Amino acid sequence: MDAILLIADADVRRRNELRRFFWDSGFLVAAAGNGLECLAELVALEPHVLVIALEIPWGGGDGVIARLNDGLPIGRKPLIVVIGDSPLRTLSARTGVAPCSCFSTPLRNEDLLDPIGVGLAARLLRGTEDRRRPAQAHMTQVLRRGCHVRLRSS
């Protein structure tokens, strides 16, 4: 089973770097360069994880997250990770996302893996992920501080 990660970032260089990093880490990866593309991809793909930059054009990261919370017609709400140039408290306050899922830039890509792995594992344990979907993530092994999630079929 595969887990889908959507990256929404207007910075093409950072978006491509994150895309390569997450692909190499085992995710199926999609990308969007603005808020409208992001909303379309959320509906089309129903990703397990959304890594979103607060500063994306055409709605902003906070606008996309507000739309998700207002009932975007998708089957499941993705795990949300916010990145941005603002301090963590500002990112959290503007988006309503927990501070542990907010990261100020510049950042190390590796810093995103643990919260994503732990978040996906917690959803599996709580049973909030639909186990019938073929794009379901599942744990393969426990690493350092969290869980490593097997995402892409080998």
Q: What is the pLDDT along the chain (154 residues), one digit of tens a residue?
A: 478 999 999 999 999 999 999 999 999 999 999 999 999 999 999 999 999 999 999 988 999 999 988 887 888 889 999 999 888 888 889 888 988 899 999 999 999 998 998 888 888 888 755 543 433 333 232 222 233 334 444 4
Would you say residue 150 lies in a domain? no
Would you say residue 124 lies in a domain? no
pLDDT attached to residue 30: 96
CATH code, 13: 3.40.50.2300
Q: What is the C-alpha to C-alpha distance for residues 64 and 83, in angstroms, rounded to an integer?
A: 13
Would you say residue 108 lies in a domain? yes
Burial of 91 (0-12, 13-18, 19+ CB in 10 A): buried
Would you say residue 90 lies in a domain? yes
Would you say residue 95 lies in a domain? yes
Q: What is the C-alpha to C-alpha distance for residues 4 and 104, in angstroms, rounded to an integer?
A: 23
Domains contained in the chain, number:
1
Would you say residue 122 lies in a domain? no
Would you say residue 26 lies in a domain? yes
pLDDT attached to residue 149: 39
pLDDT attached to residue 128: 59
- CB-based contacts of 45: which residues, under 8 Å, 6+ apart? 4, 6, 30
Domain with 64 in it: 4-112
Give the pTM.
Answer: 0.79
Geometric angle at alpha carbon 9, from 147 and 98, rounded to 5°: 45
Would you say residue 56 lies in a domain? yes
Reply yes or no: is the peptide bond before residue 106 cis, omega within 30 of 0: yes
Q: What is the C-alpha to C-alpha distance for residues 66 and 80, in angstroms, rounded to an integer?
A: 12
